[in-house]
Amino acid sequence: MTEVKNLEELFQAKIDAEQKIEPKDWMPDAYRKNLVRQISQHAHSEVVGMLPEGNWISRAPSLKRKAILLAKVQDEAGHGLYLYSAVETMGTSREQTIDDLLSGKAKYSSIFNYPTLTWADIGAVGWLVDGAAIMNQVMLCRTSYGPYARAMVRICKEESFHQRQGYEIMAVLAKGSPEQKEMAQDALNRWWWPSLMMFGPTDANSPHSAQSMKWKIKRQSNDELRQTFIDRTVQQAEVIGLSIPDPDLKWNEETKQYDWGAIDWTEFNNVVAGNGPCNKERLAARNKAHDEGAWVRDAAVAYAAKKAKRKAA
Amino acid sequence: MSQALFTYTLRLADDILILSQRLGEWCGHGPVLEEDIALTNRALDHLGEARNLLTYAGQVEGKGRSEDDLAYLRMERQYTNAKLVEQPNGDYAHTMVRSFLFDAYHLPLMQALTKSNDAQLAAIAGKSVKEATYHLRASSEWIIRFGDGTEESHQRAQAALDNLWTYTGELFESDAVLEEMTKAGIAPDIATIKEAWSKTVDQVLSEATLKRPADAFMMTGGRKGLHSEHMGFILAEMQHVTRAYPGVEW
Ligand SMILES: [Fe+2]
Ligand SMILES: [Fe+2]
């Protein structure tokens, strides 16, 4: 007992001294569990996130936009791979992690349960969803677990590209024809609040946050990150002449930040509980790809085994 | 001359554009994440080559049509791709066999085009050779894995081969346009491309323990804009946003 306590103290001292925890280091079970859950959720979000955006590859309105979108969705698949590898460093296999997604046991970011209805949604997703993700991910570049932090450094560079490309789509639409501007505004209206929900519950309702902060898995609270995102994004919307769908939004001279309206947490809880507009479709699509791919994966394994056997013979 | 060059360049572009469009359908739905990435990469490489060719075709035509005008504002009767590339993705065996049959033609074609008398086509082909080499290697490896993998994968690969074989003849058809291009030293002699293709196909199929289908009836028509019924849907999906808002920037 005292030995575990000492190990825990040493572990915490290491974290306090800003040293990274590496896979072979001792770590408390709760730290490991917490990280496996967080990193695998993150990995699943990258992979499920390919679906709403992939939805527009065949219909992108110019070849240049098609190429940019293909490359973006491909980047997200890469992010999923790095993150599944990061989970594996904690002793959980990729198969097991993916099985938890497919069975519905594991969560992924609820934002991807919203549909992409028009081309402008591709702009809004890049600008707002990748934009909100970056807030979290920049923070995670300094997270205490080494492999996760290093995966984030690679990922962040690409995410900021995605954010800029999304914003550029919106900027072009906003200064285009009246129909295009309307399309852009409509997309902003639909994606704004779900994007704010991406930061998770308010600090008051976020019971695990304190422990995550102590372990330096997180370094900023949900509310802090959300506020930074709002302050930044409101100004970006102004530049391209779109309006934020929040009647309570106004600049506060005293706090030097925006005051804003209330998030509809009932909607948030509903989507988390599986009742979002596309929860069923997303999971069904992942399961279909997995099931239909089974014979392909089996063939690869069987061929590799035959080849190894022939080589040995 | 410039009419034939326009037609020839457009054919090259249409093949690779429609194949890219088909491959893009896999994005997010691949059998394993690494393959999702590889398929998207293929789609991206093909799209890049298609854009170069379409832009050049527009210049040759001299009517101010851009890559997007040519991609988004032509109807199926004006599209001149081979029917092979418009065939549905089907299962992963169909997708890979379709790509393999195309890659085995595309690589020697691009290699030969680097020596074209048309400097622009030679330059575009020069950029594509490295990618095309990689594509053929990757699709060949899958054909071998499927053929020599499990019983199911073998059957699926053979079925895909048997289904798609009838579309391979069109890749090597000749007509007045191609003859003019070959005479001018712009296009290579298509018979030499077919020879290279056939050799690759035999090698890979033999290693895969798959049977080369007999050269029975070969489908034709794509180069004249006579497509399968799939083509209209491919274009409807690809073009609808662009056509719904004519003349705007994206
Ligand atoms: Fe990502
Ligand atoms: Fe992203």
Complex confidence, ipTM: 0.97
CB neighbourhood size of A313 (10 A):
5
Does the pLDDT at position A286 exceed 80?
yes
Three-state DSSP at A145 gives strand
Residue B62 located in a structural domain:
yes
**A56-90 pLDDT, tens per residue?**
999 999 999 999 999 999 999 999 999 999 999 99
Query: Using CA atoms in the order B115, B116, B120, B123, what is the torsion angle rounded to 10 degrees?
Result: -20
DSSP state of A111: G
DSSP for A244-279? -S-TT-EEETTTTEEE-----HHHHHHIIIIISTTH
Residue A257 pairs with which residues in a beta bridge?
A252
Residue A251 pairs with which residues in a beta bridge?
A258
Q: Distance (Å, rounded) from C-alpha A172 to C-alpha B223?
A: 37
Residue B73: give the domain boundaries.
2-244
**B122-142 pLDDT, tens per residue?**
999 999 999 999 999 999 999
Question: Which of A51, A58, A176 minimises the CB distance to B24?
Answer: A58
What percentage of chain B has pLDDT greater than the value 70? 100
Average pLDDT (A205-228) is 91
Three-state DSSP at A27 gives coil
Residue B79 located in a structural domain:
yes
Residue A140's pLDDT is 95
Q: What is the number of helices (H) and of strands (E) in chain A?
A: 14, 2
Partners of residue A297 in chain B, C-beta under 8 Å = 31-32
Average pLDDT (A247-264) is 97
Does the pLDDT at position B146 exceed 90?
yes
A159 pLDDT tier (thresholds 50, 70, 90)? very high
A1 pLDDT tier (thresholds 50, 70, 90)? low
Residue B250 located in a structural domain:
no
Q: How far does the centroid of ligand 1 lie from the alpha carbon of residue A141, in Å?
A: 14
DSSP state of A19: P
**How many Cβ pairs closer than 8 A exist between chain A and B?**
136
The distance of B53 to chain A (nearest Cα, Å) reads 12
Return the HEC string of chain B: CHHHHHHHHHHHHHHHHHHHHHHHCCCCCCCCHHHHHHHHHHHHHHHHHHHHHHHHHHHHHCCCCCHHHHHHCCCHHHCCCCHHHHCCCCCHHHHHHHHHHHHHHHHHHHHHHCCCCCHHHHHHHHHHHHHHHHHHHHHHHHHHHHHCCCHHHHHHHHHHHHHHHHHCHHHHCCCHHHHHHHHCCCCCCHHHHHHHHHHHHHHHHHHCCCCCCCCCCCCCCHHHCCCCCHHHHHHHHHHHHHHHCCCCCC
**B87-131 pLDDT, tens per residue?**
999 999 999 999 999 999 999 999 999 999 999 999 999 999 999
Q: Distance (Å, rounded) from C-alpha B21 to C-alpha A52?
A: 17
Partners of residue A62 in chain B, C-beta under 8 Å = 68, 72, 242, 250
CATH classification of the domain holding B184? 1.20.1260.10
Residue B36 located in a structural domain:
yes
The distance of B235 to chain A (nearest Cα, Å) reads 9
Ligand nearest to the CA of A76: 1
Most A CBs within 10 A among B17, B25, B29, hence the mutation to make, goes to B29
Residue A206's pLDDT is 86
Residue A186's pLDDT is 98
Most A CBs within 10 A among B53, B150, B152, B156, hence the mutation to make, goes to B150
The distance of B176 to chain A (nearest Cα, Å) reads 31
Q: Which pair of structure tokens corresponds to residue A228?
A: 């930074």
> Mean pLDDT across chain A, nearest whole number?
95
A313 pLDDT tier (thresholds 50, 70, 90)? confident
Residue B96 located in a structural domain:
yes
DSSP for A180-198? HHHHHHHHHHHHHHHHHHT
Q: How far does the centroid of ligand 1 lie from the alpha carbon of residue A72, in Å?
A: 8
Residue A2's pLDDT is 65
Ligand nearest to the CA of A159: 2
Residue A165 pairs with which residues in a beta bridge?
none
Average pLDDT (B60-69) is 98
Residue B1's pLDDT is 60
Contacts of A91 (CB under 8 A, 6+ apart): A32
Q: Distance (Å, rounded) from C-alpha A205 to C-alpha A185?
A: 31
Exposed, middle or buried, A89 (CB in 10 Å: 0-12/13-18/19+)? middle
Residue B232's Cβ-side half-sphere holds a number of Cα atoms within 13 Å equal to: 3
Q: How far does the centroid of ligand 1 lie from the alpha carbon of residue A6, in Å?
A: 38
> Mean pLDDT across chain B, nearest whole number?
97
Minimal-distance CA residue of chain A relative to B47: A67
Three-state DSSP at A241 gives coil
Three-state DSSP at A26 gives coil
Return the HEC string of B118-172: CHHHHHHHHHHHHHHHHHHHHHHHHHHHHHCCCHHHHHHHHHHHHHHHHHCHHHH
B225 pLDDT tier (thresholds 50, 70, 90)? very high
Average pLDDT (B214-239) is 96
Residue B129 located in a structural domain:
yes
Q: How far does the centroid of ligand 1 lie from the alpha carbon of residue A62, in Å?
A: 23
All residues with CB under 5 Å from ion ligand 1: A 46, 76, 79
Most B CBs within 10 A among A94, A98, A303, hence the mutation to make, goes to A303
Query: With an 8 Å Cβ cutoff, are B145 and A285 in contact?
Result: no
pTM as predicted: 0.96
Partners of residue A63 in chain B, C-beta under 8 Å = 47, 50-51, 54, 67-68, 71
Residue B179 located in a structural domain:
yes
Cα angle A302, A306, A312; round to 5: 145
Residue A210's pLDDT is 86
Q: How far does the centroid of ligand 1 lie from the alpha carbon of residue A69, in Å?
A: 13
The distance of A78 to chain B (nearest Cα, Å) reads 7
Q: Which residue, B91, B118, B97, is CA-closest to B31?
A: B91
Query: With an 8 Å Cβ cutoff, are B27 and A57 in contact?
Result: yes
Residue A94's pLDDT is 95
What percentage of chain A has pLDDT greater than the value 70? 99
Asked whether the beta carbons of B71 and A65 are under 8 A apart, the reply is no
A307 pLDDT tier (thresholds 50, 70, 90)? very high
The amino acid at A168 = E
Query: With an 8 Å Cβ cutoff, are A299 and B152 in contact?
Result: yes
DSSP state of A129: I
Query: With an 8 Å Cβ cutoff, are A289 and B30 in contact?
Result: yes
Average pLDDT (A162-181) is 98
Does the pLDDT at position A209 exceed 90?
no
Residue A19's Cβ-side half-sphere holds a number of Cα atoms within 13 Å equal to: 9
Query: With an 8 Å Cβ cutoff, are B31 and A289 in contact?
Result: yes
**A125-140 pLDDT, tens per residue?**
999 999 999 999 999 9
Q: Which residue, A170, A204, A202, is CA-closest to A187?
A: A170
Three-state DSSP at A120 gives helix
Number of structural domains, chain B? 1
Q: Which pair of structure tokens corresponds to residue A115?
A: 């549909």
Most B CBs within 10 A among A44, A57, A101, A291, hence the mutation to make, goes to A57
**A4-55 pLDDT, tens per residue?**
779 999 999 999 999 999 999 999 999 999 999 999 999 999 999 999 999 9
Partners of residue A61 in chain B, C-beta under 8 Å = 72, 241-242, 245, 250
Average pLDDT (A296-307) is 97
Partners of residue B31 in chain A, C-beta under 8 Å = 289, 292-294, 296-297
Minimal-distance CA residue of chain B relative to A65: B250
**B17-34 pLDDT, tens per residue?**
999 999 999 999 999 999
Q: Distance (Å, rounded) from C-alpha B50 to C-alpha B37?
A: 20
Residue B177 located in a structural domain:
yes
